[in-house]
Amino acid sequence: MNSRQTLLTWCDQTLQTTQFKDYAPNGLQVEGKNEIRKIITAVTASRAAIEFAAEQGADMLLVHHGMFWKSEPVTITGWKKQRIATLLKHQINLVGYHLPLDAHPTLGNNTQLAAQMSWQPENAFGEQNLLNIGSLPENQQTLADLAAQLKTVLQREPVVVGNLSGSLKKVAWCTGGAQGFFQAAIDAGADVFITGEISEAQYHLANETGVAFVSAGHHATERYGVQALGKAIAEEFGLDVQFFDESNPA
């Protein structure tokens, strides 16, 4: 029998959760069945993902974006009540790993995105080592080519700020909502910074520094870490693990 605690202990140790200061709890967020036979993975613990897990008879929903963020009200009402009610009704464990899943050197979102795009990571840097810097393959040596490859791989039109014909050597990236790290990427010597979201300020910073900025989608850039974690769990414990995806334009 694969118990919930056995899986949680393995995940906590593998992802080294104690090394991170995060904005939400990592690990078990809503308790369900003790015995785990089937797991659904998803980027976010949305109502759609929870309902899919229930339909599939899953014992655990494993996500990157869980619930109970520091910026949210603590009351269990409205949409949060609906999500939790469904989890409890079907005794589904909700387990989330946020920053530890971004930064993991093999399973993490940053490493997995690099693998999808054929980037060659050189080192991690910045706040909690959440940024990466590396080199680009031959088919992504200009901003236009890089943007085209991102569109092909992620199936989403990126927002691109910079000289499309300009040559690129160093790429820095951090999946998700990491637009606030743009200056750190500039200071590290990147020619282009790629993340999931863009705010108003990044447009001006890119134009004024000459360092290109690409917003490739928060959801789109973070599809791959939780899938890698799910695959690793399936191999380690012999469990049935399935990925649920959503068409999320953000």
Known binding residue 197? Answer is no
Known binding residue 104? Answer is no
- DSSP annotation string for 102-168: HH-TTTSHHHHHHHHHT-EEEEEESGGG-EEEEE--GGGSBHHHHHHHHHHHHTSPPEEES-TT-B-
- DSSP annotation string for the chain: --BHHHHHHHHHHHHTGGG---SS--EEEE---SB--EEEEEEE--HHHHHHHHHTT-SEEEEEE-S--TTS-SS--HHHHHHHHHHHHTTPEEEE--HHHHH-TTTSHHHHHHHHHT-EEEEEESGGG-EEEEE--GGGSBHHHHHHHHHHHHTSPPEEES-TT-B--EEEE--SS-GGGHHHHHHTT-SEEEES---HHHHHHHHHH--EEEE--HHHHTSHHHHHHHHHHHHHH--EEEE-------
Known binding residue 219? Answer is no
| Rounded Cα gap, residues 29 and 105, in angstroms | 24
Known binding residue 222? Answer is yes
| Rounded Cα gap, residues 43 and 223, in angstroms | 6
Known binding residue 218? Answer is yes
Task: Tell me the binding residues for a divalent metal cation.
Answer: 64-65, 102, 218, 222
Task: Tell me the binding residues.
Answer: 64-65, 102, 218, 222
